[in-house]
Amino acid sequence: MNTKQLQYFLATAEQGSITAAARELDVAQPAISLQLANLEHELKIKLFERDFRGVQLTDAGEKFEQHARLILAQIQTAKAELLGSKKDCKGHVVVGLSQSSCNVLSVELLTELEHRFANIELSFRIGPSHTVEQWLEDDKIDIALHYNLGNTSAAPNTVTLIREALFLYISNKPKNPVFSELNLYGAIPFIDLQHYDIFMPDEQDELPVLLNKHAKQLGIKLKPKSDFGQLMTTLHYVTQGFGLVILPSSGAFHLESSNMIRAVNIVQPELQREIYLQVAERKCQDIAVNMVFELIREVTATMHHSQNWRGTLIDKKYARPTIVHTEILATV
């Protein structure tokens, strides 16, 4: 259930017709029909009776109408109170994160922050996970996104955001003949990675640690190739068809969408790693920091929903609802 469904429900009840409600709201009629169908499906009750004259509320619909108006009124009250507090919400917040996480989050975060909390200034410090963790410990950042595999998730100031999937990325037009057959694959067993030179960061980085762990279990050795230190430089080299790289979709979704590179699934085993969102203990009561913390959770859910950040969303607080595909209600 969401506010859009409640608004469409109330407009239809007031107008006595889905067609009239569509005109009133300036929304396509099928969109209203679909939302009403989803609402009835979720509630498991029939809200409207339909005949040639239009629609009328059922007894259950009349009871629900009272609740719908109360819910929307409470939401408007909450929004008004929050808007009043925005002017007082100010400060400079520093977020430490990896290059791939910054790639998928930064633009959306800055845009939403400008719209909602114009008095909060946001800065990013980008580095490998172990460096980000050290920055947090040294009080150089306020919020961290990292891959700490310890008992971090149990801390009250930490949320497990997402279990991101890792892919092998290759150019759609590989120049290296060795990659020609690989470019046809939809998936590749992990054990076959041993046959290819793959760009990898420094050995202290979490990614080669994870890859070497699986390689050791399978009794193979990978052939790492030193990357360029900057993710965009490495990806530029890959898009030109001269290399391979293993990344989460967060680091390459913009190039996937333009068909410059493609993702090959890694299987047997699938590669995944969990990302933790953590606030510095000294900043737990800072309003601006907490606003940015919540916004990161929300934007992560949005990016996951759009498939720009693929994997399993662990933090469900802002998860986007799954669309229920039902037959569109008859309109009158």
* pLDDT 10s digits, 17-64: 888 888 888 888 888 889 999 999 899 999 999 887 788 899 999 999
pLDDT band at residue 123 under the 50/70/90 scheme: very high
Measured from the Cβ of residue 157, the count of other Cβ atoms closer than 10 Å reads 15
pLDDT tens-digit series, residues 248-270? 999 999 999 999 999 999 999 99
Is the confidence at residue 204, as pLDDT, over 50?
yes
Is the confidence at residue 323, as pLDDT, over 70?
no
Measured from the Cβ of residue 292, the count of other Cβ atoms closer than 10 Å reads 24
Q: What one-letter code names the amino acid at 23?
A: R
Spatial distance between the Cα atoms of 42 and 254, rounded to a whole number of angstroms: 35
Average pLDDT on 282-297 reads 92
Domains in the chain, please, with CATH? 3-85 (1.10.10.10), 89-162+274-313 (3.40.190.10), 164-272 (3.40.190.290)
pLDDT band at residue 86 under the 50/70/90 scheme: low
* DSSP-derived 3-state class of residue 39: helix
Spatial distance between the Cα atoms of 80 and 65, rounded to a whole number of angstroms: 23
pLDDT tens-digit series, residues 88-108? 678 999 999 999 999 999 999
**91's torsion region: left (phi>0), alpha (psi -120 to 50) or beta?**
left
Spatial distance between the Cα atoms of 207 and 157, rounded to a whole number of angstroms: 25
pLDDT band at residue 158 under the 50/70/90 scheme: very high
311: Cα within 13 Å, side-chain hemisphere:
25
Q: Using a cut of 0.85, tell me whether the model's pTM lies above it.
A: no
